[in-house]
């Protein structure tokens, strides 16, 4: 792909900068696009965007769904979180930022459900980087965080956990989408017209045999990037004779459920 004297198309990658995974994962995508001759710019806000800048990539301030609100939504079993006014303000601000950048195409990585609406209103194609489990290719509706009530249900009746999880997640998805649908209704736009051009799945297709539409879902394989960071001070104190178990819930997983994992491994011969 060579553009010669023509201006290189701009790809705007919007990330949730308060999540380290959502911030780091698009960096190899950006570096590859730049090798192909595209101009690449990141958009978003959050402390982890410093890794993007350290990789030599430009960052454009762009408002995203406040991460405490995302975590609040994940921590609740049920209940309304987003309001219509909040969604409307964020969509308008995102649309204005997109129109200032004037990208040819956009890529999103992160749980910001308003960006598809803003990109549609700005007339810019949007592609989403999404895990196979999030879009339902792993045999579940989508990712569901740990809930203490589901832990109790699992102890009493393990067979009820999956139906309960599916039902709760469906209700939460409807509740999260309602303000956006309402806002779109006020704008006079059909909800069916808003969405992603393609879901780019950073997983191995062989691990997810569920049927998917190749016209809308593309497996791109793992997106690996590790910033140059020093090892922690306690690394040398690890006992190399004992197996090491690394447990991480991610910056978006929260601490719920971590106590169960620690308790399960506590009596095992691991560190």
Q: What is the DSSP string of 159-180?
A: GGHHHHHHHHHHHHHHHHHHHH
Per-residue confidence (pLDDT) for residue 1, from 0 to 100: 45
Per-residue model confidence (pLDDT) at position 233: 92
For range 124-145, the mean pLDDT: 74
Residue 77 token pair: 């079993």
Q: What is the pLDDT of residue 240?
A: 86
Of 203 and 166, more confident? 203
User: CA-CA distance, 9 to 6, in Å (whole number)?
Assistant: 9
Write down the H helix ranges in the chain: 20-24, 26-35, 49-54, 67-75, 84-101, 115-122, 148-156, 161-187, 258-266
d(CA 205, CA 251): 25
Of 65, 72, 68, 8, residue with least CA distance to 40:
8
Separation CA 188–CA 182 (nearest Å): 10
What was the pLDDT predicted at 44?
A: 94
pLDDT band at 254 (very low <50, low <70, confident <90, very high): low
Mean pLDDT of the chain: 83
Residue with the bigger pLDDT between 143 and 213: it is 213
pLDDT for residue 188 is more than 70:
no
Q: What is the pLDDT of residue 192?
A: 45
pLDDT at position 264 = 85
Mean pLDDT of 182-205: 74
Provide mean pLDDT across the span 245-251: 76
CB atoms under 10 Å from CB of 271, counted, come to 12
pLDDT band of residue 146 (cuts 50, 70, 90) is: low
Look at residue 131 in the predicted model and tell me its pLDDT: 87
Strands 198-201 and 58-61: unpaired
**Chain segment 2-48, per-residue pLDDT in tens:** 444 457 899 999 998 888 889 999 999 999 999 999 999 999 999 99
Closest CA to 101 of 119, 89, 88, 113: 119
Please compute the mean of the pLDDT values over residues 148-157 and round it to a whole number.
71
Q: For residue 78, how far is the Cα from the chain centroid?
A: 21
Residues of the chain with pLDDT > 90: what percent?
Answer: 36
219: pLDDT strictly greater than 50: yes
pTM score, two decimals? 0.81
- Going by the DSSP 8-state scheme, the letter that residue 237 receives in this structure is G
Q: Please write the tens of the pLDDT for every residue from 51-78.
A: 999 999 999 999 998 877 777 776 777 7
């Amino acid at each position: 792909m060579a553009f010669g004297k023509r201006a290189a198309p701009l790809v705007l990658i919007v990330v949730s900068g308060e999540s380290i995974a959502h911030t780091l994962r698009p960096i190899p995508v950006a570096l590859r696009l730049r090798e192909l001759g595209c101009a690449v710019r990141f958009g978003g806000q959050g402390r982890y965007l410093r890794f993007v800048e350290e990789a030599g990539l430009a960052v454009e301030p762009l408002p995203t769904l406040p991460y405490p609100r995302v975590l609040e939504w994940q921590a609740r079993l049920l209940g309304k979180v987003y309001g219509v006014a909040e969604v409307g303000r964020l969509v308008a601000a995102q649309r204005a930022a997109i129109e200032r950048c004037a990208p040819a195409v956009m890529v999103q990585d992160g749980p910001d459900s308003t960006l598809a609406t803003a990109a549609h209103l700005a007339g810019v194609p949007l592609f989403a980087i999404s895990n196979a489990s999030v879009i339902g290719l792993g045999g579940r509706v989508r990712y569901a965080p740990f809930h203490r009530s589901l832990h109790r249900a699992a102890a009493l009746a393990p067979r009820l956990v999956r139906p309960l999880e599916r039902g709760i997640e469906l209700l939460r998805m409807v509740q999260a989408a309602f303000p956006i649908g309402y806002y779109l209704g006020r704008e006079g736009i059909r909800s069916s017209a808003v969405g992603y051009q393609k879901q780019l799945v950073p997983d191995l297709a062989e691990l997810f045999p569920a049927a998917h539409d190749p016209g809308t879902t593309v497996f791109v394989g793992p997106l690996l990037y590790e910033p140059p960071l020093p090892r922690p001070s306690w690394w040398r104190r690890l006992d190399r004779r004992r197996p090491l178990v690394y447990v991480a819930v991610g910056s978006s997983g929260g601490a719920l459920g971590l106590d169960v994992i620690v308790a399960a491994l506590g009596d095992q011969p691991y560190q």
